[in-house]
Structure 1
Amino acid sequence: MTMDALQARDLMTTPVVTVPPDMAVEAIARLLARRGITAAPVVDGDGALLGLVTAADLTCRLSEPPAAEPSWLRWLLADPSKAAIRYARAHGFVARDVMSLEIDTIPPDLPAAGIASLLESKGIRRVLVTERGRLRGIVSRSDLLHAVTGERVEPTDLPDARIRTAILAAMRRESWADLFHTQVEVHDGVVEFHGFAPGREVQRALRVLAEHVPGVKGVRDLTEPVLPLEQVML
């Protein structure tokens, strides 16, 4: 089957790990950790898609700021709907309380190119496949490799040139990444950063960025620190 002929139904992963709307938050967290996944669709007894619970929805509970002291000015300027959503997600007990209702979905007949465009424009890693409101599967970026190669390929088999292209594209999306002073090389899946970096924070971020790219087996930071201007002028 050619790349142009591939559709969501040909690429999607099934079955999908789902949770019922009354599943306890603690149980969902254990499920995500045990299965090594970052999200689980919420479906009812008939298989209808209701929402999506992500790891971010659960971990936000750890960083929920303390409630501010009430005041008439804060009440006047506040958006009650957004505040209510934050409160429910931070304090809810079951899936229906913490799940996201705004979900990106696609039909089973959407071509591979359309799926790729959606993932890029939304900046997401996966999308749910639905038909008449029922969950059918899930398509991730790794599933789309099938459309590019014609076969399912493990990330470790990706060519160095493709890995480098993906890293450069990721760097262009980040304001802290400097493509002018930092060069990227890839050898047998190992990424090497050369040139200059303005500090340890950027060096660490570059490593993290590279590690998120499929096919990367390791990262070597060979950059040199950028000296402060006053030291350069001495």
Structure 2
Amino acid sequence: MIVREAMSTPAVTVPGSWSVRQAVRLLHERGVTAVPVVDQAGYLVGVVTETDLLRGEFETDPAAFLRATAAAGEPPVVRVEDVMTTEVRTASESTDLAALAELMITMGLGIVPVLRGDRLVGVLRRHDLMRLVSDSDARVRDDVLAAIRERFPAGPHWTVTVRAGVVRLQGTAGGHAARAVHLLARTVPGVTRVAVVDAPNAV
């Protein structure tokens, strides 16, 4: 499975010139915890998280987290570009989803912008991964069987079992047909791994 099949699109973004408070309102309204930051031409320049925004809005004194920053006169406006992260891990639409998910877990990434060339086309969030995992095994099994029947309407027949997204294919076909079914099953959303085993009596 590749990133394009799981990413959220279009990506919710904020301009670097926005104030922190503007960005906070957007994240709250959209129910997200991080967004890509873009320049005036729409190119990716960073990522900002709710933690970045809160740090920009409140003083560092722990006691001040109960009140907004205030200073004599008009305080300077803190902008998204002042608090965003500029070293951003990105992916392409064809990136292997399992490899990227492992990277996100290992590095604690909540969001990965997805680029087509140098243009932002979507984002992969932890929520997208959770949505895939939450797809029931029964639904994944039905989707795998439907894909096989559409591609090979005349058979051979395969027995399909799914457990936690891991697909086990049993059938009498070998060689090219088995490899084709293996690749086909991997394209189904919710599939994390595919194993093909020989089963002479499969129906």
- The aligned counterpart of 2:25 is 30
TM-score, with structure 2 as normaliser = 0.53
Paired AA for residue 83 in structure 2 = V
Matches within 5 A, 1:1-234: 6-61=1-56, 62-65=58-61, 93-144=78-129, 145-146=131-132, 149=135
SS in 2 for 1:138: strand
* Identical counterparts, % of pairs: 36
- Partner amino acid, structure 2, of 1:146: L
Question: Could you say if the C-alpha distance between residues 147 and 97 of structure 1 is closer, same or farther in structure 2, counting changes exceeding 3 Å?
Answer: same
Contact 1:112 1:147 in 2 (8 A): no
Aligned residues: 125
Query: What whole-Å deviation, never above 9, does each CA across 1:64-106 have from its counterpart, x for those lacking one?
Result: 149xxxxxxxxxxxxxxxxxxxxxxxx7622211211121211
Unaligned runs of 5+ in 2: 63-75, 141-162, 165-203
Displacement of 1:63 after TM fit?
4.6
Letter in 2 for 1:33: H
Whose helix fraction is larger, Structure 1's or Structure 2's?
A: 1
Distance change in 2, residues 1:94/1:125 (3 Å): closer
Structure 1 runs (4+) greater than 6 angstroms displaced: none
Unpaired runs of at least 5, structure 1: 1-5, 67-90, 153-160, 163-234
Which of 1 and 2 has higher RCO (CA within 8 Å, sep 6+)? 2
TM-score (normalised: structure 1) = 0.47
Q: Are the counterparts in 2 of residues 92 and 98 from structure 1 also a CA contact under 8 Å?
A: no
Per the alignment, in what secondary structure is the counterpart of residue 41 of structure 1? strand
- SS at structure 2 position matched to 1:27: helix
Q: Relative to structure 1, is the Cα distance of residues 19 and 115 closer, same or farther in structure 2, using a 3 angstrom cutoff?
A: same
Contact 1:24–1:95 (CA under 8 A) maintained in structure 2: yes
CA displacement 1:30-68 (0-9 Å, x = unmatched): 1111221111211123321001111101212425149xx
Q: Is the 8 A contact 2:53 2:80 kept in 1?
A: no
